[in-house]
Chains A and B, each alone.
Chain A
Amino acid sequence: MLEAIILTIITAATPLLLAATGELVVEKSGVLNLGVEGMMVMGAVAGFAVTISTGSPLLGIVGGAVAGMLVSLIFAFVTLTLVANQVASGLALTLFGLGLSGLMGESFVGQPGLKLQSLDVPGLTDLPFVGKILFGQDILVYLSFAAVFGVSWFLNRTRAGLILRAVGDNHTSAHALGYSVVGVRYLAVAFGGAMAGLGGAYLSVAYTPLWVENMTAGRGWIALALVVFASWIPWRAAVGAYLFGAVTVLQFHAQAFGVGFPSQFLAMLPYLATVVVLVAISGNRRATLFNTPSSLGKSFVPDR
């Protein structure tokens, strides 16, 4: 029973973690991309399409990442090259992604997909209790953890990460030192797009191998909230993703056990939890001051 619950928490948390880790890097570079939901849902539909047309869920995942990256580049062009308002452009990206995925996915509705297999390690996976949890997951689960460690290492230990943080902290200074603010941000947005695409592909290829319209159901927005929750620190995003995964799963189990409580109110839990957490986090502004990218959401035009 507990094992089953932990397994479902992992599947609920993984897409959130993938998308949040990507968005964290984007925001660290000073860009606020509110289009995570749109990029995720594009990743979901592309992942499903590539999977059933090639018969390979692995290729499907790659397809999801590519789709997420491609739509993120539209956002990058509009906000970085043409310096349009990032908030409005992010909303446009979400609307565009939801529409285009619905259009592309129309023929897939009701079709069975292929499920991404878990990486079973003979012997280890059969260990009691921990076996399945630690060694019986699919590649995206491991990838989501690798991404957390990778991003953490990148931001704090590499020169490229230092430059990315510098661009997010003060783009005018970074430009004065000769760094390409727009170039760095393009790369960050593309990475964020790919990660959101992966998170979306996880839903349609690993979580439930199906295509349902708007199947991300607000997860992109929760991923955005997680970045704030994490105060731009990668490991905290992982903690947050698993907390939210747990809340979601709790709601399902409570419904299954027929807790004398309307199911709608239980379904509200993840969203209400997001609001509560956001409030709790924003109460402590001093502590997050050094991690918040000061240039977040501000357009940059070098003077010539």
Chain B
Amino acid sequence: MGEGTGDSTGEMLRRVGGDTPLLEVRHVTKRFGNFTANDGVCLKIMPGEIHALLGENGAGKSTLVKIIYGSLQPSSGGIFWKGRPVTVGSPAEARALGVGMVFQHFSLFDAMTVAENIALALPNCRATGELAETIARVSSNYGLPLDPDAHIADLSVGERQRVEIVRCLLQNPELIIMDEPTSVLTPQEADQLFVTLRRLAAEGCAILYISHRLEEVRALCHHATIMRRAKVVAEADPAKETVNTLAQLMVGNEITRVTREKGKLGPEAILLKGLTQVSQDAFGVSLQDINLSVRAGEIVAIAGIAGNGQKELFDALSGEEPLEKEDMVIFAGEAAGLMDINERRLLGAAFVPEERLGHGAVPALKLSENVVLTRHGTGEGIARRGFTRFGKAGRIVETVTSLFDVRKGVLDPEARSLSGGNLQKFVVGREVERTPKILIVAQPTWGVDAGAAAVIRQSLIDLSRKGAAILVISQDLDEIFEIADRIAVISRGYLSRAEDADTLTTEKVGLLMAGGAEKKGAAAA
């Protein structure tokens, strides 16, 4: 195991499949200007092998995958398919070779039907009745039932992934690339996916499986290639490793775990009473009689699969979407349901939305201007008599930067020039620096590297222990179990009762996420 074990790994591979790798990447380097995204990367995938590609965000996994799939061309190095050198000039050429891809952010067309979506990925194919029959047959064969005439916009996230997979299968691929496939699934849906993948592998199809969920990689994959900072740093047999040793290979040094002690609970700071709201958006989710209380000094997390009302709940809490009754949301004892977002901020509430760029921050504005964005109405004197004081905002940028270790090139850069992790640290830090009494935060560490995630999670815990009430809306169960004192689950706009985190397991939360939360007053027990 560990670094420099290429030879013994090769031995093992030969036992698994034939002698010739299905796909071999040799010394591939990809540069974007001065930035090297892949540096002499080598990778071998044998037929019928489920091969994990591990690495933190920004390690170069996506670039490598794009090169294999023909979306990007390598600056140097080559790709060999069944032992022969090939040039993959475009995704169409990759598909012709027998490489299929299931994207992390689905490449589906919302306004089109399932059949049309699939036809677009097949050469010279139109959405005919014949194709619809094939789709129905193949999808039920692999336990992924689909209606070919349904519009994508009407499908759940799990169903959309099925479309991606079936689309891939219809191309008769010999290698399927899957980019973070389980990040949008319930644990039960994920288990079902693993059954399908194992069956495909048994039929001889190779799978390149990209994930940072080490537990599932250990259970599923035959072999793992680990990348760090644009290079392959190790290869391993995941079954023989532990989650900790794999994580260490990915991160390079011991990850700092967050520390958490029980806090002292104060009065109820966030109180939701029968929060009900009909969605105005055609594809939105209506909130159904949501009741919840969060006391000062504790963190309550709301788990759930994307698209089950999290966005609507956040907007209702922040005041971006007006409510019907003022006592549906009570902040620090004040009925805030009819207040706008700045009136709620004046009560001591702060908000961090899921989307960093375009919601939490304006991409083309400087960080100091983005401080004005959320703090001009908090009575701190950042805006006075209609005039803004960017100098004061600039000093806040400096404080946040040093407290949260935000890495930036220039003194006051535009928000869009920061990396995801650094921008997220800024967006969270901007609110935490105010020491709010109430913090509502959605997806605090989505798509953020482990180092930044640890900083952010620790800051949330520290803030709550100083007496703030924190509500975290997250899809990441690991994160939730790491920081939450109590956990509730949202499903189709219904919220289950919040239970003590210590009494819950991943499985129980998973069942609630899959719909158990919709039963009136459901509890995890």
Contacts and interface: CB of A to CB of B under 8 A. Distances in A.
A177 B126 contact: no
Contacts, number: 68
A301 B378 CA distance: 38
Interface string A152-163: 000001110011
Contact of B110 (A169, A285, A286): A169
Nearest to B92: A178
Nearest to A289: B282
A238 interface: no
A118 B32 CA distance: 60
A166 B92 contact: no
Contact of A166 (B70, B112, B125, B151): B112
Contact of B126 (A159, A166, A176, A293): A159
Given A177-B120, A177-B121, A294 B110 contact: yes
Interface residues of B, number: 29
Given A162-B119, A173-B107, A178-B91, A286 B282 contact: yes
Given A178-B91, A289-B282, A158 B126 contact: yes
B91 A159 contact: no
Contacts of A169: 109-112
B121 A162 contact: no
A172 B108 CA distance: 9
B57 interface: no
Contacts of A252: none
A292 B72 CA distance: 31
B72 A166 contact: no
A285 B32 CA distance: 42
Interface string B106-136: 1111111000100111001111000000000
A282 to B, nearest CB: 15
A177 B120 CA distance: 8
A172 B107 contact: yes
Contacts of A304: 32, 72
B9 interface: no
- Of the listed residues B32, B71, B112, B120, the one surrounded by the most CB atoms of chain A closer than 10 A to its CB is B120
Contacts of A8: none
A185 interface: no
Contacts of B112: 165-166, 169
Contact of B71 (A157, A165, A176, A293): A176
A149 interface: no
B291 interface: no
B30 to A, nearest CB: 10
A170 interface: yes
Given A157-B126, A159-B119, 16 more contacts: A158-B126, A162-B116, A162-B120, A165-B111, A166-B112, A166-B120, A169-B110, A170-B109, A175-B71, A176-B71, A176-B103, A176-B107, A177-B91, A289-B111, A290-B151, A293-B111
21 contacts: A158-B126, A159-B119, A159-B126, A162-B119, A163-B120, A165-B112, A166-B120, A170-B109, A170-B110, A173-B106, A174-B120, A176-B103, A178-B90, A178-B91, A178-B93, A179-B120, A285-B282, A286-B282, A292-B111, A304-B32, A304-B72
The 5 closest A-B pairs by CB, nearest first: A178-B91, A173-B107, A176-B107, A178-B92, A169-B109
